Amino acid sequence: MMDEALQRELIQKGRAFTKGDGREDPYPDFESDQSLRRPQPPLVKEAMAGAEARTALPRDFEALGMRNDLLGVIRDRRSNRVYTDQTMTLLQLSFLLWATQGVKGIRGKAYATLRTVPCGGARHEFETYLIVRKVEGLAPGAYHYLPMEHALEFLGPVEDPEGAVERSLMGQKWAAKASVVFYWSMVPYRAEWRYGIYAHRVAMIDAGHVGQNLYLACTGLGLGTCGVGAFCHEECAELFGLDGEEEYVVYTAPVGTVREEDRAREQAFYRFVEDEGL
């Protein structure tokens, strides 16, 4: 069992992290790099592969014929962990990428991107990576999303993708049947440049918006997803060649094809509640 005093100390650190600014600022000398007029970091990560590795993504989202009853979509959003292992279309994946990180415009010459999700200070400190298993028109393997171009770049094949997904998500076997798995990394300096020591709390709030848009977009398309916070930081970094310090994965989400009959099997996730009389 963990030392109780250490546990209390760590919990206090966690609480302090989520509290944000107090009435009295404990660090009145802090100045952000932005206020010190240090150069702004790039809005997005540079392409990681050559132009020949790029797939432009379709944008004719009207053709998806998705649900547009907002009330029902919000009501029906839920986590799906049982997938039917079918192939998704490229247009579906394109919509999910646009819904989660799509760029709608640029403020100033290159001051900020405006996207489909809100973000503290419009810093948009995330990058999107995918392990694709079954998406029409895409070779299986690792991909990086280029939000400015709304394109995907192929980073290379992944040996044993099901095993790689399972290992990277701490042994969550169900995720290996996803058609595609989203891995969102954070490039912390993009947010730190503006918010410095306060950047990280804001960034975690930002990540929630990205995840919720994925949930709602999947609900609209009749696909299934589940936010996953239990992932292995090192395995994820290795999958996409991230250095783990200036860029590291902060949230993941498998997406798969689903069918209504599996709803009952989904309930099994909470069977322990009944079994243990909770």
CB of 167 to ligand FMN, least distance (A): 14
- Closest distance between ligand FMN and the C-beta of residue 77, in Å? 7
- In the complex, the smallest distance separating the C-beta of residue 92 from ligand FMN, rounded to whole angstroms, is 20
Find the shortest distance in angstroms from Cβ 208 to ligand FMN: 7
Cα angle, residue 201 at apex, residues 195 and 165 outer, rounded to 5°: 120
Instruction: State which residue, 157 or 171, has the beta carbon closest to ligand FMN.
Output: 171
User: End-to-end CA distance of the chain, in Å?
Assistant: 24
Sole binder of ligand FMN in the list 78, 107, 263, 265 (CB under 6 A): 78
C-beta of residue 113 within 8 angstroms of C-beta of residue 124: yes
Residue with CB nearest ligand FMN?
229
Exposed/middle/buried for 157, CB within 10 Å: 0-12, 13-18, 19+?
Answer: exposed
20 vs 171, beta carbon nearer ligand FMN:
171
227 makes contact with ligand FMN (CB under 6 A): yes
Q: In the complex with ligand FMN, which residue's Cβ is closer, 151 or 228?
A: 228
Q: Rg for the chain (alpha carbons), in Å?
A: 20
Under the binding rule (CB under 6 A), the answer on residue 59 touching ligand FMN is no
* 43 vs 226, beta carbon nearer ligand FMN: 226
One-letter amino acid for residue 78 of the chain: R
Residue 229: name the closest of 144, 160, 172 by CA.
Answer: 172
140 binds ligand FMN (CB under 6 A): no
Q: Is 230 in the site for ligand FMN (CB under 6 A)?
A: yes
Torsional class of 199: left (φ above 0), alpha (ψ -120 to 50), beta (otherwise): alpha
Site string for ligand FMN, 163-182 (x = CB under 6 A): ---------x----------
Give the contacts of 133 (CB within 8 A, at least 6 positions apart): 140, 161, 162, 165, 178, 179, 180, 181
How many Å apart are CA 236 and CA 242, to the nearest integer?
8
228 binding ligand FMN? (CB under 6 A): yes
Residues forming contacts to ligand FMN in the complex (CB under 6 A) are 78-79, 81, 172, 211, 226-230
